[in-house]
Amino acid sequence: MQWKLDEERVPYPQALAEMDRLVRAIRAGDEPERVWFIEHPPLYTAGSSAKPEDLQDPGRFPTFAAGRGGQWTYHGPGQRVAYVMLDLERAHGTVPARDLRAYVHGLEEWVIRTLDRFNIRGERRPGRVGIWVADRVAGTEAKIAAIGVRVTRWVSWHGMAINLEPDLGHFAGIVPCGIREYGVTSLHALGIAVTMAELDAALAASWAEVFGSALVRG
């Protein structure tokens, strides 16, 4: 499985265009499946279920229609975004063919296993999309990773975003994923001062445990 890392921040429209191209090429058999690690400049994206009133500060950052499922999401520096383009007509490790629910579960498991390498317990919550951790400062829970996917002719795109050290104040311009009762956090906010390179290495190492093949950097 090939993975690509972009060192420069990628504008969101450029990322959408490249994912669209890759999805078509993967379905045609002209490109290998790919996991794309990037960062974006600060922006908000709206999924197919996003409510206009949940964009609370429209002028703060650029906003984009994402074309994925879900609601409002923030992307920005210090956040690792992983766009996953797989041919879901075949099985991948623990994920059977043509099973979207199992694929989303696999993305969640990938994040959970990655966090476990830093002694962080990430958990799923019924009715709440993403991966959640205990926020000991606030005495509640907070989201550390967001997940949103789209599937075109059984090729996946979009994926997940995990907070390493973004400016958490930037999330105040939206209601993240439509959930008002809980906040967001990051590895650094939890006291885990790892680098982006270390997070990438953990993500690459955890991938095969879930999806069954090693990530090879292309």
Catalytically annotated residues: 177
Contacts of 169 (CB under 8 A, 6+ apart): none
**What DSSP string runs through 145-157?**
EEEEEEEETTEEE
Residue type, 179: I
Tokens 């390179």 correspond to: 197
Do strands 63-65 and 43-46 pair parallel, antiparallel, or not at all (unpaired)? parallel
Distance CA 72, CA 54 (A): 7
Residues written for the chain: 218
* Per-residue CA distances from 12 to 74, 105, 152 (Å): 11, 25, 19
Residue type, 173: G
Nearest to 36 by CA among 58, 2, 73, 3: 3
